[in-house]
Amino acid sequence: MLTISNRGETMPASPIRKLVPFAEAAKKRGTKVYHLNIGQPDIETPPQILDAVRNSDFKVLEYSHSAGNESYRKKMVEYYSRSGINVTPEEIIITTGGSEAILFGFMACLDAGDEVIIPEPFYANYNGFAVEAGVIVKPIFSSIETGFALPPMEELEKAITPKTKAIIICNPNNPTGYLYSKEEMEILKQIIVKHNLFLFSDEAYREFCYEGTHTSAMHLTGADDNILLMDTISKRYSACGGRIGALVTKNKAVLAAVMKFAQARLSPPSFAQILGEAAVDLPLDYFDSIKAEYKKRRDTIVKRLNAIPGVFCPNPGGAFYAMAKLPVEDADIFCQWLLESFSYKGQTIMLAPASGFYGTPGLGKQEVRLAYVINTTAINAAMDCLEKALEEYNKK
């Protein structure tokens, strides 16, 4: 009898997309669904960067260099320098989305059976990449009551074993929106230097910080060989379909190993590298209005959530996600009920149950993640739905 691999069996399904069939069924019934379940921005992709692709002039769509076009990597040096990150084109490998950068980091730095520590809740696909690489995720709890601040240094150190090779953070964080402070980043530096670990820093949302400033892992001094930066244009320029990311490190051995993986997949997408290169030349104030818009959305959704009886939502410092605790026993069941059985004025709301963002079974059962990627009018309508839904659900 033919069987699939253990890896295929244990590969987790996306907690963000698992309710899609129920949303599709709701739409077929004529119900409008407000999508707060997935981080797909409604902000328009800048026309200048789309035009760069449309106006590209070449006779053959060739492979690029496996590390990415040199012209793009040079532009990325310029981009990073604006954030106080000093790197060379040789320290950047362009990847097929930020996802490939994370997977390459796992494959290059960890062996099967090695452990990686991740503060939970965390981006669900880290679990998937770990399964692909044979790596074991060791989650460490961060609480909604503290706004998902980094756990104390002693708690992090308790999780370290002889098999621990890396710590992963996402800053600002997906799914919590938490923005790690400079002090927290320094604590992480102390730990990785003391215990000789890698720090993988996913900085997909660098531009979207609303309180405080962003401290990149690449700003930390005295730990160059320990640090890998994972990056992407997806959220930054509302270009999720471009599938262009980057892995950045000063560790030459890691770069050499990652390069072999990059060569094995041949090259990153050509058109999106053209798009990414053009994006670096956008006006320096490009993010001002976008950041202001996301902050307005954040303020709206957090205020509305905390005004609903029994709901608690900490104020996220960055990205475009909020985590909320709801007065329900099981958010997975509630989120499915929203799509299967509820409508208010012909509308309902799609949320991401938080249990899929925790590595520890049983955690996050009352929590949901909301992506404020729709305008404030739609957010207010969605919150009207949520308020009515909780009222109705808790009468059952």
Domain identity same for 220 and 322: no
pLDDT tier at 380 (50, 70, 90 boundaries)? very high
Domain identity same for 22 and 69: no
> What is residue 13's predicted lDDT score, i.e. its pLDDT?
83
Q: Is the pLDDT of residue 321 over 80?
A: yes
CA dist 311 and 390 (Å) reads 10
> What is residue 315's predicted lDDT score, i.e. its pLDDT?
98
The per-residue pLDDT for range 269-303, each reduced to its tens digit, is 999 999 999 999 999 999 999 999 999 999 999 99
Q: By C-alpha distance, which of 291, 250, 13, 40 is closest to 128? A: 13
CA dist 371 and 239 (Å) reads 16
Q: Which domain holds residue 82?
A: 47-279
Domain identity same for 293 and 155: no
Domain identity same for 271 and 363: no
Domain identity same for 200 and 227: yes
Q: Is the pLDDT of residue 158 over 90?
A: yes
Summarize the confidence of residues 350-369 as an average pLDDT.
96
CA dist 97 and 304 (Å) reads 34
Q: Describe the strand order of the beta sheet including 367-371 as a list of residue ranges.
A: 321-325, 367-371, 352-353
Which of 249, 264, 279 marks a domain boundary?
279
CA dist 338 and 31 (Å) reads 11
Structural domain count of the chain: 2
Q: Is the pLDDT of residue 364 over 90?
A: yes
CA dist 221 and 167 (Å) reads 17
Domain identity same for 198 and 291: no
Q: Is the pLDDT of residue 396 over 80?
A: no
* pTM, full prediction: 0.96
The per-residue pLDDT for range 13-55, each reduced to its tens digit, is 887 778 999 999 999 999 999 999 999 999 999 999 999 999 9
What mean pLDDT, rounded, does the chain reach?
Answer: 97
CA dist 242 and 73 (Å) reads 16
Domain identity same for 111 and 237: yes
Domain identity same for 95 and 219: yes
pLDDT tier at 164 (50, 70, 90 boundaries)? very high
Return the minimum-mean-pLDDT range out of 210-214, 309-313, 370-374. 210-214
Structure tokens at 246: 């980057």
The per-residue pLDDT for range 68-92, each reduced to its tens digit, is 999 999 999 999 999 999 999 999 9
Residue 1 lies in a domain: no
Domain identity same for 337 and 235: no
CATH number at residue 254: 3.40.640.10
Residue 85 lies in a domain: yes
> What is residue 14's predicted lDDT score, i.e. its pLDDT?
82
pLDDT over 90, % of the chain: 97
Domain identity same for 246 and 358: no
Total H helices, total E strands in the chain: 13, 12
